[in-house]
Amino acid sequence: MRLLALLLLLFSSMHSFSQECNNTLTGTLLDIHDGSKLSGATIIVTQTGAAVQTDLDGNFSVKFLCDSTYNLQVSHPSCTTKIFSLEVQSDVQKTFKLEHHLESLNEVIISGNKTYRETKTLFENTLNQETIASFSSGSLGDILNTISGVSSLNTGNTVVKPMINGLHSSRIVLINNGVQMQDQQWGAEHAPSIDVNTAGSIKVIKGAGALKYGGNAIGGVIISSAPKVALLDSLYGKTIISGATNGRGGTATSSLTKSYENGWYTSLQAAAKRFGDFNAPDYILSNTGVFERNMSARLGFNRIDYAVDAYYSYFKNEVGILRASHIGGAEDQVQAISNPIPSIIEDFTYTIGVPRQDVTHHLARINAHKDIEGIGRFYFQYDYQQNNRLEFDIRRGDDKDKPSVDLVLKTQSLKVDFRSEAKDKFEYEAGLIGAYQTNFANPLTGVRRLIPDYTKYDFGAYITGNYTLNSRWLFEAGLRLDHTYMDVYKFYRQSFWEERGYDTQFSDLVIQQSGNQILTNPKLNFTNPALTLGFKHTFGSYMLFANYAIASRAPNPSELFSEGLHHSASRIEIGDLQFGSETAHKVSLTLQQRAENLDFTITPYSNTIDNYILIEPTGIRQTIRGNFQVWEYRQTKAQIFGVDLDASLTLRDNLSLLHQFSFLKGYDVTKKEPLINMPSVSTKNSLMYSNLKYNNLKVSLESHYVFAQNEFPDTNFEVVLQETTQTVDVSTPPPGYHLLNLNASFSVLQGLDIGLHVNNMLDTSYRNYLNRLRYYGDDVGRNITLQLSYNY
């Protein structure tokens, strides 16, 4: 009997064990700061010694756990190892968070799986600190040109406006340290007021899927983020000094960060840039100098589960506009465009004369977040911006030093966001945003105000969510609704008011008439919905991203109210009070492969835009200031489609071949003709050699070919010269061109790096179709830049 009882007891224990030790723990490991998923982490069950690692998406699974309490030791490279206690009674899913900070002190490439994704179903391009530092003396537009599908609309070589898949200005949302920039971005020659040296990373999202940043991102979103601060007792910084042959100038920037293990930190940064006249291969481009000085300061407190961060930046930029682009009468207009060289070429100087821009931008922001265990993270932010834009034209007498344009734009915004913890494979974000903006156009310039005084209110709400079905499938959806109200005071010339038919359509807007001037008070409302749907599918070494987005935006003040000479653009611009909102439907696919020797990403897309607003030349007008082209805004239906390709092939251990290709076509569906100012086909091929063992040596030779734009609208016009009529050709694009560029860098001492960059090595003469000043001069010639970078 004792033997029988013992056997029954043993059988019962085995049965009990088989029942109670069949639980499975599935989990995800995240960076506690930004929610990015950490791959390659090790999870050890201390009671059993079982160990597993997280996959590329930060997921892991531990099987055969009993009904018990376990201690899990979680470690990740450059993270602080942490012990978690977990009670297991059945299958359980859990999200763990680590303080992933130690890498912040080093110059490292941030791989995609370690960066929080703003949208899960759109591919994101990320530029790391190493790339940003190599463009220390350049602009944001210069850096972004390194990404396939991203080009720029230029006004000479110093005003560079980013363009994503053929769209720019108000169709691109630009985030600077968490703040949506408001800096008169409506102008084609208005470059972003951002110092690239403040960025720790820059992301580009080619589409409107990141709804938390705005439903008006018809072209995409650019996110410039500050470097992460380590929770360590440390003092560190960086100084970069560069000098360049073209423009005979350079840049100096320095940053210093002090951090404490208790969570406090502070950071200071300053930069200055000074160049004189740049030169084309055969002549000087007179009055193209630049003088930029910037600074920023940051103070914060971070206790892992809550934080407060305050940030301030000052941006000051004086930019000369090619003197030859501002001409006199009709005869000068024809000669300037037809001549192979600029009509005005002067000796080199650092003096910035007229025409020129002078932009000052202040940005102040304070934000905070708080984690609530089992619920998620709440974010709060208030920010203030003030942008003062001055444009100086050629004037005489007492007004020679007076700006022709003097605009002060003030913006305040408040937003609250919430990001949930991942539960049952589902996570979501939601938020509310409100903004108040005023624009003051100084009436004392003595020139008709191009942009009127206005007050604008913006309100928005969004929610996005994603569901992870399994390790292969993820689905995402989101909704957003924005409302804009504008209260405007605008003077119209009576002749213009009647010529446009406004006297019958908008007679109720008139509040006062004095002589030939009519004061109006338009009060406009725009409601703009946005939506995103998509999925991500992983199979083998491939990932497929698919996204459909609806985005809409209200017309900006320039498109609605322009009526006069835009001095830095050297043209008369005319808007239309009747415009409604643009609505875009974009479909994009991205196939990505990461293999041992070959990585590639291919992204075809299609963007259909109803009520697309474009500006195009319609004629010429003689004024007391001279002869100027007339450009008018109009609305139409547009279709833009294309494909971007990136590939990297490892030829040998230290040798690789990089390839980029961008193809885009844009059409005016209503008029059945090509759209104006669409980027042409381009391709880049780079041969790169790197040897980390030999002083971190890196050398690359880049071949960049831009094809001629063979599809463009006919916007030529005629002028009368001494009783004869002559056609002014402003439509025909310049021929294609090929540039060779050389980049090299190496370390000479601990923390000291030397970089050498040679752009346009062969000193090729060329004109870019997307350069607004291509009618008057060539683009810049060879430029050799030497850069010293010291980390301390």
Q: Would you say residue 19 has pLDDT above 80? A: no
Torsion of CA 244, 250, 251, 252, to 10 degrees: 110
In the prediction, which pLDDT does 328 show?
66
Residue among 551, 562, 561 nearest 610 (CA): 551
H or E segment at 134? helix 129-134
SS3 for 474-524 is EEEEEEEEEEEEEEEEEEEEHHHHHHCCHHHHCHHHEEEEECCEEEECCEE
Q: Would you say residue 424 has pLDDT above 90? A: no
Q: Would you say residue 112 has pLDDT above 70? A: no
Cross-strand partners of 462: 431, 480
Torsion of CA 771, 775, 777, 778, to 10 degrees: 50
Residue among 792, 780, 787, 789 nearest 276 (CA): 780
Residue-wise pLDDT for 505-546, tens only, equals: 999 999 999 889 999 999 999 999 999 999 999 998 899 999
Q: CB 11: neighbour CB atoms within 10 A?
A: 10
Q: Would you say residue 113 has pLDDT above 50? A: no
Structure tokens at 281: 């291969």
Residue-wise pLDDT for 36-58, tens only, equals: 778 878 888 887 778 888 887 78
- Report the distance separating Cα 786 and Cα 252, nearest Å: 12
Residue-wise pLDDT for 136-157, tens only, equals: 888 888 899 999 999 998 988 8
SS3 for 16-37 is HHHHHCCEEEEEEEEECCCCCE
Region 722-749 average pLDDT: 90
Collapsing DSSP states into helix, strand and coil, what is residue 130?
helix
Q: Would you say residue 102 has pLDDT above 50? A: no
SS3 for 720-763 is EECCEEEEECCCCCCCCEEEEEEEEEEEEECCEEEEEEEECCCC
**How far from chain centre, in Å, is Cα 332?**
38
Residue type, 701: L
- Please, what is the average pLDDT of the chain? 88
The CA–CA distances, whole Å, from 362 to 98, 225, 270 equal: 35, 17, 14
Q: Which of 92-101, 218-227, 510-519 has the lowest mean pLDDT?
A: 92-101
The conformation of residue 22, written as its DSSP 8-state character, comes to: -
Q: CB 130: neighbour CB atoms within 10 A?
A: 15
Region 270-289 average pLDDT: 97
Terminus-to-terminus CA distance in the chain, angstroms? 80
In the prediction, which pLDDT does 100 show?
62
Structure tokens at 741: 């560029």
In the prediction, which pLDDT does 680 show?
96
In the prediction, which pLDDT does 630 show?
86
Beta-sheet strand order (sheet of 159-164): 150-155, 159-164, 167-168
In the prediction, which pLDDT does 568 show?
63
- Report the distance separating Cα 428 and Cα 743, nearest Å: 43
Q: Would you say residue 347 has pLDDT above 90? A: yes
- Report the distance separating Cα 591 and Cα 600, nearest Å: 8
Q: What are the backbone dihedrals phi and psi of residue 470, each rounded to the nearest 5 degrees, phi first?
A: -160, -165
Q: Would you say residue 180 has pLDDT above 60? A: yes
The CA–CA distances, whole Å, from 369 to 300, 363, 372 equal: 12, 20, 10
Region 240-267 average pLDDT: 95
In the prediction, which pLDDT does 7 show?
46
The conformation of residue 293, written as its DSSP 8-state character, comes to: E
Region 742-764 average pLDDT: 94
Q: Would you say residue 14 has pLDDT above 60? A: no
**Tally of residues, the chain:** 792
Region 89-100 average pLDDT: 79
Residue type, 578: Q
- Report the distance separating Cα 508 and Cα 516, nearest Å: 18
Q: Would you say residue 664 has pLDDT above 90? A: yes
Kind of pairing between the strands at 510-514 and 517-520? antiparallel
In the prediction, which pLDDT does 116 show?
60
Residue bearing tokens 């008139």? 510
Q: Which of 99-103, 398-402, 450-454, 591-595 has the lowest mean pLDDT?
A: 99-103
Name the more confident of 783 and 8.
Answer: 783
Residue 182 burial (10 A CB sphere; 0-12, 13-18, 19+): buried
The conformation of residue 423, written as its DSSP 8-state character, comes to: B
Residue among 221, 210, 207, 206 nearest 148 (CA): 206
Q: Would you say residue 110 has pLDDT above 80? A: no
In the prediction, which pLDDT does 101 show?
52
Structure tokens at 469: 């079905």
Confidence of residue 35 (pLDDT cuts 50, 70, 90): low
E-only strand ranges, 99-219: 124-127, 150-155, 159-164, 167-168, 172-176, 179-180, 201-205
Confidence of residue 223 (pLDDT cuts 50, 70, 90): very high
